[in-house]
Structure 1
Amino acid sequence: MNNNIKSALALGLVVTAAVLATSSAEAEIHSKSKELVVMEARDLPEQAQTPGNSLFLHSDNGGDFYLYVEQQQGARLSVFDVTDPARIKLVVSMPLAGPGTTALGAFDFVRPVGYSAELVYFRDSQKEGMLDLHKAKKPVLRMISAETDFDMSEPLGESGFLVTTQAHRYTPAVARNYQVMDVAGSIPTQLATVKDVKHRVTNDYTGTTFLLGSDGLTVVRRLSVENDYKERQYQTEGN
């Protein structure tokens, strides 16, 4: 292959990459104020397009943020690295039922238990479990054998809890439509509508809001908060 052909191929790859990057940027919804960016499920990794029932945000000891999403009625758990809201990446999408076994059904993330676990409640069976997050990228679901109410637990140091024997009372989430509005101008502008949102969570550090609806995951970014966070991180790393 001569140099001219190699150069042409290289140029073609560069142009293709530029077109893809432009298409991705145009797919996102930007407010006129340049403050808000809405990333719909199609702008995110493919697994983000799967609807779910519950999600939660976790930060590891290294300062990275991970979003855990229950999907397929409890049969699958997807984990996304959302440390940089502009570059959300899939970490793992794992089945929660092994070969020859059946998933216990849809579940909700109830609350953190200590620093490295999240309480899980299964709606149909009314059983509880814990998602072990000691390895944030490789979470492990462990069932709780005793009938307890960890939702009302009291910590006993870093490794113990005081719990009641009353079973957890599940309150189903009410699905709502959310509208993302830009009010920076003289006339309020509707940027997007997110349908049937059952759960949402906000990362106060980056200002990012995650909404889990019927079309999957939607991300609303606040660029000024993101930039302030990045600047603080840069200054911290420089010291």
Structure 2
Amino acid sequence: MNSIIKSALTLSLATAVLALPALPSQAEVHSKSKDMVIMEARDLPEQAQMKGNSLFLHSDSEGNTYLYVEQQQGARLTVFDVTDPAHIKVAASTPLPAEGAFDFVRALGDHAEIVYFRDGQKVGILDLRRATKPVLRTISSTANLYTGETLGQSGLLAANESYKYIPAVARDFQVIDISAANPTPLVTLKNVKHRATNDETGTTFFLDDDGLTVARQISVETEYKINQMRTEGN
């Protein structure tokens, strides 16, 4: 998977995210410096308002970046095109067989993601060779896929040992604007189950009680676009 995509929270110098008590949320929130923009689920495509448990980012060979979100307790997989954070679009929204809620655990090579189902009985692999038409395949195996390795383009090497996946504990977060003279809470995110950051654009995606929330860093986006234009001009 593209090394610039990391499941970690990237912060600008002007904004901090802390685990704190809840405050009322707002739509289209801007920091004092205008560098941070918070887009709540209601500001995004309708599918962003569906609740989910897990998400991850994937970049394809054509320079597009997609956000994959497990929704409706594993009954639906929605793919958002987040290449341009200012214009997030739905690339696909697909119903899934009734296998139950699941979590995206780790990348497997450049075109797959390992999935663990929360009932503890099943594992799977999400095939990403067609980024906007992913295919989820469950595997009848007791091997430890978490430490698995790819063997060429069609093989997987996994240790024959037990592994129990433990989902992360959901927490409340506040986004605090520290660009102002007096640091000010901008928005509260309730029960954040998962988050992921695209370091290229400085965009962080949160999966919370309201669905998908996006924190954008305008200066990072601008710098990325300038670098892209320079690259295309060479």
State the TM-score bracket (shorter-chain normalisation): 0.7 to 0.9
Distance 1:210 1:175 in 2: 15
User: What is the total number of aligned residue pairs between the two structures?
Assistant: 209
Any idea what SS the aligned residue of 2:58 has? strand
Distance 2:49 2:175 in 1: 19
Bigger-Rg structure (1/2)? 1
Aligned residue in 1 for 2:91: 91
Aligned residue among 165, 170, 174 for 1:175? 170
- How far the C-alpha of 1:154 sits from its partner, in A, is 2.8
Aligned residue in 2 for 1:218: 213
Between the two structures, name the one with larger relative contact order (CA 8 Å, sep ≥ 6). 2
Any idea what SS the aligned residue of 1:86 has? coil
1:153-191 per-position Cα deviation (integer Å, ceiling 9, x unaligned): 133344433211223311122110111111012100111
TM-score by length of 1: 0.84
Show structure 1 runs of 5+ residues with no match: 1-25, 98-102
Contact 2:47 2:78 in 1 (8 A): yes
- How far the C-alpha of 1:27 sits from its partner, in A, is 4.2
Q: What's the C-alpha RMSD, in Å, of the aligned pairs?
A: 1.3
Contact 1:104 1:125 in 2 (8 A): no
- How far the C-alpha of 1:143 sits from its partner, in A, is 1.4
Where do 1:18-167 residues align within 5 Å? Answer: 27-97=27-97, 103-167=98-162
Q: Residue type of the partner of 1:220?
A: A
Any idea what SS the aligned residue of 1:154 has? strand
Q: Residue type of the partner of 1:89?
A: K
Q: Residue type of the partner of 2:170?
A: A
Aligned residue in 2 for 1:184: 179
Contact 2:73 2:102 in 1 (8 A): yes
Aligned residue among 186, 189, 193 for 2:188? 193
Q: After alignment, is 139-148 or 159-168 more displaced?
A: 159-168
Distance 2:27 2:120 in 1: 41
Distance 2:105 2:144 in 1: 11
**1:231 pairs with 2:192:** no
Distance 1:123 1:166 in 2: 19
1:90-120 per-position Cα deviation (integer Å, ceiling 9, x unaligned): 11111012xxxxx111000010111000001
Distance 2:77 2:56 in 1: 11
Q: After alignment, is 61-70 or 166-175 more displaced?
A: 166-175
Distance 2:200 2:154 in 1: 27
Q: By percentage of residues, which structure has more helix?
A: 1
